[in-house]
Amino acid sequence: MMRLNKKKNSSFRVEGSLFEIDAKYEPIDYIGKGSYGIVCSCINKDNNQKVAIKKTIDVFSSQEDALRNLRELIILRNIRHHNVVQLKDVMITSSKSTFKEVYAVYEFMDSDLHRIIQSPQPLSPYHCQYFMFQLLEGLKYLHSTNIIHRDLKPANLLINANCDMKICDFGLARTTRGDHSGEFMTEYVVTRWYRAPELLVCSNSYDKSIDVWSVGCIFAEILLRRPLFPGQNPLDQLKRVIDFLGTPTESDLDFINNSKAIKFIKGLPYAKGVCWKAMFPGVDSLALDLLQRMLVFNPRKRITIAEALQHPYMSDLYEPEECPRSQTTLDVDIDAYVGETKLRDMFWREMSFYN
């Protein structure tokens, strides 16, 4: 790493994986491990702040994984919002031509929404409202930069002990040229349980409204303390959505350009749809109204993030002047066929911003 050649570095192991990072970071504890890396907590001895450091191993073993990591670095370098996790540092362990590992240093958060939902910890109506407000506020800013997250789920919403929320994991994020742009994007996005109908029917165009659907699924999960649509596969997922919302009308299907999907939907038994009040007993009527406006089958009829913030359910928290839009836009639609040499150059450029 360019910086490590100039400064003292330290080495330690986390769950068998060797970390080689700036000596100012002192390890505390193992946090977790996934398909994209291993994470531990550390103390930055320069300022006594706790951070989370993610080590990504064999960055270039998969073109897709390399692009995911690069997009996240680009987005988080450019996004500064109190409801988006902050990237504080990036470290690479050797020269530009040989490095295989990347260390990303994030602000530390105590937990995530998935763990909180699964825990016995009670959640008051205000907890629910405050979580949703922060999620919407962060997404409004992201959408104003022309970024669609594309993988919103409780595990990607970090929570602190004081209930502050930060959106994380931008590896699947993409740029949109505006609502209903018609830009082609692969449908293999979003964890299935939070996947919008337009993705389930393999629509070859979609926009920011897919994030709205995911927010609705998360909203319902907070209220129910369990996933709303735990589908076993894409077709089962679609059937669960229709059973819940009711059989779509002809106008509800006008966004679908896949004839096989339309045939499948029309071949399903008639579904009346659930009684929302019975499904969510004791939930505030304004909360249910907002939820219903998010979980709309046809994306063209779905509420936007900006409109959701202006919904009466958010009136106690939303102040337009305190939720500004970004003044700049981003483009992270990197050519999927860019070579490794170019990718190395781009990673090196991102790391150089932190020196």
Each residue of 231-245: pLDDT tens digit? 999 999 999 999 999
User: How remote is the C-alpha of 72 from its chain's centroid?
Assistant: 11
Residue 54 assigned to a binding site: no
Q: Where are the domains of the chain?
A: 9-108+337-352, 111-322
Which of these CATH numbers, 1.10.3720.10, 1.10.510.10, 3.40.50.300, 3.40.50.620, describes 111-322? 1.10.510.10
Give the Å distances, CA to CA, from 194 to 55, 256, 322.
27, 19, 29
Place of tokens 């018609």: 182
Please identify every residue annotated as catalytic: 151
Mean pLDDT (whole number) for 128-132: 97
pLDDT tens sequence across 242-257: 999 999 999 999 999 8
Instruction: Name the pTM for this structure.
Output: 0.92
Judged against a pLDDT cut of 90, whether residue 323 lies above it is answered with no
Cα angle 15-20-21, degrees, rounded to a multiple of 5: 115
Residue 13: beta bridge partners? 18
Identical fold for domains 9-108+337-352 and 111-322, yes or no, is no
pLDDT class of 2 with cuts at 50, 70, 90 = very low
Domain 9-108+337-352 fold is Phosphorylase Kinase; domain 1 (3.30.200)
pLDDT tens sequence across 52-94: 999 999 999 888 889 999 999 999 999 999 999 999 999 988 8
Interatomic CA distance for residues 138 and 285, integer angstroms: 24
Are 117 and 154 spatial neighbours (Cβ–Cβ below 8 Å)?
yes
CA torsion sign for 101, 102, 107, 110 is negative
Give the Å distances, CA to CA, from 269 to 175, 241, 246, 266.
38, 13, 10, 8
Lowest-confidence pick of 59-63, 116-120, 201-205: 201-205
Give the Å distances, CA to CA, from 133 to 221, 222, 308, 323, 329.
15, 13, 9, 11, 23
Judged against a pLDDT cut of 80, whether residue 101 lies above it is answered with yes
> CA gyration radius for the chain?
21
Interatomic CA distance for residues 71 and 170, integer angstroms: 7
The secondary structure of 240-253 as a DSSP string is HHHHHH-PPPTGGG
